[in-house]
Structure 1
Amino acid sequence: MKILLLGATGLVGKNVLAQALAHSAITGVVAPTRQQLAPHPKLINPVSDRLGSLLGVTQGVDGVVCALGTTIGKAGSKEAFREVDYVLPLAFARSAHEYEVETFVLVSASVASVGSAVFYPRIKGEIERDIELVGFRSLTIVRPSLIGGERDEPRFSEGAALRLMSVLAPILPKKFHVNPAPAIAAAVLSAVTTAEPGRHFRYAESLV
């Protein structure tokens, strides 16, 4: 099986990439990035500053994993955030569907809500809604809570929240527990390799 991985340099994406390259059922990983990745015999790594110019890499893959995501602070504006979290995922989804790819896995967020008055959860809700409309035979939406793991860049407020949630874990419902990036990656790979028909959700409480 050959998969396309979007967002391979992010926290979840890095874990998906490592697990996919070690997975016996996965023969190849196409991972377009802005910066070159470490070489691997199973890895195809198209590099471009404009990921939107690489839509053609969807041809010939069996499934797509989208772990693209940023923050407004890192992106620099709401418009730039929307480009990464909405425009690019939808463009790759539509391209993949045109090339008859039947399986798509989207890493979203537990707060996703198309009707939210808050920008971040609304964009997450909109991308879930619009990728569902693309028409994949198998669509899995993974909705983690706060994601645990080592990031390349520090996020002070997120780090504080992670520490607090870890302390309170014994008394918090599972849906509020920290979701380790390797556990999310394992759920993602299970979804893309199983490719169960229909729409499926993996919620935070199952990603601990």
Structure 2
Amino acid sequence: MGAALTILVAGATGLVGGLVLGLARDVIPVSRRPIPGHPGVVADFDDLPPLPPADVAICALGTTRAKAGSDAAFRAVDMHAVLAFARAAQAAGVTRFILVSSVGSNASASLLYPRTKGEVEAALEQMRFARLDILQPGLIIGPRNERRPVERFLQWAAPAMDLALPRHLGSIPAETVAGAMLALTKHSQPGVFRHGNRAIAAVAAKFLGLQGFGRA
């Protein structure tokens, strides 16, 4: 059995990041506020201190335009905070970076959400991590702490919508995304890898089975 990896996690107070934090050992959360029971780095992402040395970084940062309140505030989280974390992780010796992006990400898109996601992906590729994994899930379903009325409706409607949508556009459980990210920390082949719903489920299946989850 190989040595345990040290993993930096940004977005650990959110749905996917919280699951990552609960499932993994040797995880160091990087967050704006303390997380009870999980000592880590507490700081604003626009003023991150040097991060502790680590092997892999997982980024599950994300918000919505409605919650953020403006285009600029949305990009401050989904782009600027993500890239600030990536730069700080790289400075701490991280060579493998794993990001939750979104299906439909496209730097040339006219809509803010897919365009921002695509721009972040392109910027991360330019950083030349030895390995970069970009997850591009459909609607991530699971219980959230914050109120997101549109997402609550979409999660309620997801079973019916999934029947009419191609699989890569359908919903996917948050634990599947978290499981895939943790499974990918064990992958060391260099390069840039993108994973849609089907690939996310496949890579997560074994990890989630070992953790006792009933589905992937």
User: Into which bin does the TM-score normalised by the smaller protein fall?
Assistant: 0.7 to 0.9
Contact 1:55 1:91 in 2 (8 A): no
| Structure 1 position 171, deviation (Å) | 4.5
Contact 1:144 1:204 in 2 (8 A): yes
Matching residue within 1, 22, 38 for 2:36: 38
Kindly, what percent of the aligned residue pairs are identical? 36
Whole-Å separation in 2 of the counterparts to 1:175 and 1:131: 23
Range with bigger deviation, 86-95 or 59-68: 86-95
| Structure 1 position 169, deviation (Å) | 2.8
Matched letter for residue 41 of structure 2 = P
3-state SS in 2 of match to 1:140: strand
Whole-Å separation in 1 of the counterparts to 2:144 and 2:39: 23
With normalisation by structure 1, the TM-score equals 0.88
Q: Does 1:118 align with 2:115?
A: no
Higher relative contact order, structure no. (Cα contacts within 8 Å, ≥ 6 residues apart): 1
Contact 2:45 2:85 in 1 (8 A): no
Matching residue within 3, 14, 20 for 2:18: 14
| Structure 1 position 30, deviation (Å) | 1.2
After superposition, where does 1:1-208 map in structure 2 within 5 Å?
Answer: 1-21=5-25, 28-39=26-37, 43-48=38-43, 50-57=44-51, 59-208=52-201
| Structure 1 position 192, deviation (Å) | 1.8
Whole-Å separation in 1 of the counterparts to 2:161 and 2:109: 27
3-state SS in 2 of match to 1:65: strand
3-state SS in 2 of match to 1:16: helix
Whole-Å separation in 2 of the counterparts to 1:192 and 1:55: 24
Contact 1:176 1:205 in 2 (8 A): no
Matched letter for residue 12 of structure 2 = A
Range with bigger deviation, 160-169 or 187-196: 160-169
Matched letter for residue 56 of structure 2 = G
- Equivalent pairs counted in the alignment come to 197
With normalisation by structure 2, the TM-score equals 0.85
Whole-Å separation in 2 of the counterparts to 1:204 and 1:74: 25
Structure 2 residue ranges without an equivalent (≥5):
202-216
Range with bigger deviation, 128-137 or 169-178: 169-178
Contact 1:4 1:65 in 2 (8 A): yes
Contact 1:32 1:54 in 2 (8 A): no
